[in-house]
Structure 1
Amino acid sequence: MKIPPPLHAALAALRSAGGRPRLVGGCVRDWLLGLEPKDFDIEVYGLDYEALGRALGPFGSTDLVGRSFGVLKVRIGGTEYDFSLPRRESKTGAGHRGFAVSPDSNLTEAEAAARRDFTVNAIAYDPIEGRTLDFHGGADDLKKKVLRHTSAAFTEDPLRVLRAFQFAARFEFTLATETAALCRSISDTYGELALERVWGEWDKWALKSAKPSLGLGVLKQTGWLKHFPEIAALDGLPQEPEWHPEGDVFVHTGHCLDALVKLDSWQQGGPATRRLLSFAVLAHDFGKAVTTKQAERRGKLRWTSPEHEAAGGPLAEAFLQRIGAPHDLIEHVRPLVVNHLLHHDGPSEYRDTTVRRLARKVAPATLDDLMAVMRSDHLGRPPLVSAETEKRLGFLRLGAQKLALEHAAPKPLVLGRHLIGLGCHPGPHFKPALDAAFESQLDGAFYDELSGIEWMRNYLRAHPEAVKTPLPRHAPTRPA
């Protein structure tokens, strides 16, 4: 394993002091999966807390805040690392705070590893001898891409089920049958979880998934889907086979999410973009749960979901609030859900006015965001691919690029200061005048500030009630 040189020097010092340092947890798992380890956690055997501090003191500033847990934080080479002693954990109450944790220098490495959630996270690495220490078959499970609990203590922390959910999606793992059974046995303890911990696992799913549908599959397999009723309502919800040969709405949503994470918009996007797109695609068909019915179409009784996109907005908001999502995210997701169906029913070509108004509708999200959601929806019906839909999406992209509206909605060109410059006193009468100006701007009546001011002069002449003082005789000079 490639270990940062400053950290390696500290590990060697621990060994010289009589300790046995081990890299543990995600860094070992990621390394064995061929990924570059980022966060290094170190467990040290053979030393007490004072000896640990003395050995690490020369390498950087230390933080003793974790002393009661046997954890020492040390900043080495500009990076903070956690060095911990082996410790016992015993369940004392409900929730993630209901544990008694105490360092125990008599613990064996196998016993210490057994407190970890999954076997794939219980593999240790000896950085001095360059070998792995696998006491619970984690390496074999990694090869098989299986998530298996390390011990019966798994059931003491319900968060581990949500960790299984996001691990499955991130690393394309499946859940061992016996582990799924344990998860089902503790389904009623979901309420013990603090909201921020629930959100933390959902956020990792949104940001890091390689195959998001596998995470949803874990929720279904474990019986935990019931804790997210907007998603559970999609499971088994029928769709018209001619239009959706892939299956029900739950299956369709999984296909859409798996298509999303392959798009450039998601792969090249930062955390905010990935988070937004993942949750918008997850929620895009929530409205089908309350609108799906059979109706005659083209001379045949078919499954339809009229106006499900509008019905999905409140459901998406309720779901995101329930899992602790930031308010800003909810504001961005909702308009994408409500407007996601344009690629099916929209025009084959887009006038400038249509593009401007659509960009305004989806704000604070963007047309680029909307097109990613629509394309994911389109690709979520394998093996169907519609040439007409591809054409519509292409025209929308061209229209957005032409008007430079892919990444931002249009902003009003005429503002209150312009009304003041035209002789109006500020007051409630400003709003209807400015709203009318913006609507005309979206319709293409003017394209820059100067022509916008001229439009407003004409509007005020036609609506004298909006003018509190006479208009100046001469048009204002061109703005700087």
Structure 2
Amino acid sequence: MDDDVRHPAPGLLQVGSGVTAVLDAVRSAGGRPFLVGGCVRDALLTPGSRPADVDVEVFGLDLDRVAAALARVGRVDEVGRSFAVLKVRRDGEDIDVSVPRGDPATPLREAARRRDYTVNALVFDPATEEVVDVVGGLADLRAGVLRHTGPAFAEDPLRVLRGVQFAARFGFRLAPETAQLGRDLLPAHADLATERVWGEWRKLAEKGRYLSAALAVLVDSGWLATVPQLARLSGVRQDPRWHPEGDALTHSGLAGDAAAVLADEAGLTGDDRTVVVLGALLHDLGKARYTQHRSDGRITSHGHAEGGVAPVEELLTSIGAPAALVSRITPIVREHMTAITTGGRPSAAAVRRLARRLEPASITEWSLVCGADHAGRGTGSGPNPAASWLEVAASSGVDERAGRLLLRGSDLVALGHAPGRHFAPVMRAALAAQDDGEFVNHAGAVDWLARVEADGRLARLLAEGRQRAADRG
């Protein structure tokens, strides 16, 4: 290892007692441990921070001897013998410990060249407190470039998507030769397991801050073609009066950037952040079909919000998004123009109805996407038109999500009506009255039902229900 390029970095990585115990155990068994991968990259990007996840690579010992040494440290689980990875739990820390694939005597230089990008191939030697750089990763990190380490990159085409999510997280761009390799690997996308594809998209949404950079990597690598619903926005012109930033794809990236900021300011994490970031990134997919160029020179896209639901469902399903997330994102896309088209300050009833249409998404998630839409217009960016809807929701006691129907079928039965499908029109009328604020609890719902019975509407609604049930057979 004498020809490795080493750079002194005292104090670069401050690790916990669990990692220290792992390092000591490996050394006692005759191995040489190094800290590798994201923990080194992130420590260099944000000096002084303590890594949340630590990966240790061991040279000089085979996997069985490493496992035996670590058994004295804590619980050891084997998570991938084909990749020679062990997970150790100690002092509340989860530490991944690996050996180079193949021969444990593999040189450090060769092991580094089997990693995906040069910025992830940086190694920290805890014994000497030096960063070992054998592939030019430090220069690429300073330049914000994602460059593949060598021919081994092509062994796993998913690494292209890893580059997309790294771009989303760090704002990096793709090196020209890596972009060309990505285009060469495009046909292999069809063979990737959907679960692995979603894993990269999920990280993009949960951790990404530079969605426009991620789109640039998708474009440069040719992998934008893997999400054709999004690719169709490229070149779709927008009315420069409202969208001076450029085409619909450019706007989508900028909206994604804004959504990441707004979601972080709101303290969102996990699925909640994913809903807002992907909702913003995909909110305008309907423009690919609904954009029209009028004879007076204006560009319109009437109906694109509702028309965007189907392509959003298609895209999210194709990348493996869980159905529960799809069901939250699509109503936000469908309703993202509501605050603009309604105009003025909404009534409490309008906010309640919106909350019901948004289920299972929340008004706050919807408002953040609306805000990102308007903040993602370059010099045409403006305030969030959904702000007044949130104010009305707060001042009138409207819940984040629409409440359940307060009237019960048993309330109709108590009046002597046999249960059945003919109750449906009554329940719909009760729901509308509830959203209008005519009652706010079950007792109020029962009083409303009594009034409806007294004025004859109940009989008419039940008759309507019986007729519909008969027509359906």
User: Structure 1-normalised TM-score?
Assistant: 0.88
Worse overlay, 287-296 or 108-117 = 287-296
Aligned to 1:4: 16
Q: Per-residue CA shift, 1:87-133, capped at 9, x if unaligned?
A: 2xxxxxxxxxxxxxxx3023100001110000111111112222211
> Equivalent residue of 1:59, what SS?
coil
Residue 406 of structure 1: CA displacement?
5.2
CA contact (8 A) 1:423 1:467 kept: no
Task: Supply the AA of the counterpart residue of 2:327.
Answer: E
Which letter maps to 2:99? Answer: L
Secondary structure of 1:58's counterpart equals coil
The one-letter code of the counterpart of 2:205 is A
Quick check: 195-204 or 343-352, which moved more?
343-352
Q: CA deviation digits over 1:187-238, x for unaligned, max 9? A: 1111111101111111111110121110011000111111111110001111
Matches within 5 A, 1:186-205: 186-205=185-204
Gaps of 5+ in 1: 88-102, 469-480
Match for residue 467 of structure 2? none
TM superposition shift of 1:319? 0.8
Report the Cα distance in structure 2 between the residues aligned to 1:367 and 1:65, rounded to whole angstroms. Answer: 40
Amino acid at match of 1:30: D
Task: State whether structure 2 residue 254 is matched by structure 1 residue 255.
Answer: yes
Change (3 A) 1:330 1:63: closer
Task: Note if 1:425 corresponds to 2:432.
Answer: no
One of 351, 355, 358 as aligned partner of 1:359: 355
Match of 2:403 among 407, 410, 422: 410
- Count of residues paired in the alignment: 447
Q: Say if 1:261 and 1:267, in contact at 8 Å, map to a contact too.
A: no
Deviations 1:364-385 (A, max 9, x none): 1111111111111111112124
Distance 1:245 1:338 in 2: 23
Paired residues of 2:282 and 2:312 also in contact (CA < 8 A): yes
In structure 1, the partner of 2:58 is 44
Distance change (3 Å), C-alpha of 1:243 and 1:51: closer
CA distance in 1, matches of 2:428, 2:338: 25
For 1:92, the equivalent position in structure 2 comes to none
Counterparts of 1:279 and 1:357, CA distance in 2: 24
CA shift, 1:322, in A, is 0.7
String of CA shifts for 1:383-432, please: whole Å, max 9, x gaps.
1245xx65x43321211112333521133221123223333332222222
| Conserved? CA contact 1:293–1:303, under 8 Å | yes
Name structure 2 gaps, 5 residues minimum: 1-12, 464-473
1:163 positional shift: 0.4
SS of 1:81's equivalent in the other structure is strand
Query: In the alignment, residue 40 of structure 1 is paired with which amino acid?
Result: V
Change (3 A) 1:61 1:397: closer
Partner of 1:97: none
Matches within 5 A, 1:440-479: 440-461=433-454, 462=456, 463-464=458-459
Q: 2:90 aligns with which of 76, 80, 84?
A: 76
Give the TM-score taking structure 2 as reference length.
0.90
Name which of structure 1's ranges 353-362 and 420-429 shifts more when overlaid on structure 2.
420-429
Give, in whole Å, the separation in 1 of the partners of 2:81 and 2:350.
62
User: Quick one: distance in 2 between partners of 1:466 and 1:303?
Assistant: 45
After TM superposition, give the deviation of residue 246 of structure 1 in Å: 0.7
Kept in 2: contact 1:368–1:406 (CA 8 A): no
Residues 241-292 of structure 1 deviation map (CA, whole Å, 9 limit, x = unaligned): 1221111001111111111111156651121211111121122111110111
CA shift in 2, pair 1:185/1:65, >3 Å? closer
Aligned residue type for 2:331: P
Is 1:271 aligned with 2:267? no
Report the 3-state secondary structure (helix = DSSP H, G, I; strand = E; otherwise coil) of the residue aligned with 2:219: helix
Segment drifting more, 5-14 vs 112-121: 5-14
Using a 3 Å threshold, how does the CA distance of structure 1 residues 396 and 33 change in structure 2: closer, same or farther? same
Q: 1:153 to 1:250 in 2, by over 3 A?
A: same
Q: What is the deviation of 1:450?
A: 2.0
For the structure 1 residues 447 and 47, does the alpha-carbon distance in structure 2 shift closer, same or farther, using more than 3 Å as the test?
A: closer
User: Alignment partner for residue 71 of structure 2, among 57, 60, 81?
Assistant: 57
For residues 17-416 of structure 1, the aligned pairs below 5 Å read: 17-34=29-46, 35-64=49-78, 66-67=80-81, 69-87=83-101, 103-264=102-263, 267-296=266-295, 300-386=296-382, 390=384, 392-405=385-398, 407-416=400-409
Change (3 A) 1:10 1:223: closer
| Higher mean C-alpha deviation, range 58-67 or range 44-53 | 58-67
Q: Is the 8 A contact 1:460 1:467 kept in 2?
A: no
Deviation at 1:363, TM superposition (A): 1.3
Question: In structure 2, what is the Cα distance between the partners aligned to 1:133 and 1:210?
Answer: 28
Q: Report the AA paired with residue 459 of structure 1.
A: V
Give the Cα–Cα distance (whole angstroms) in 2 for the partners of residues 39 and 290 of structure 1. 44
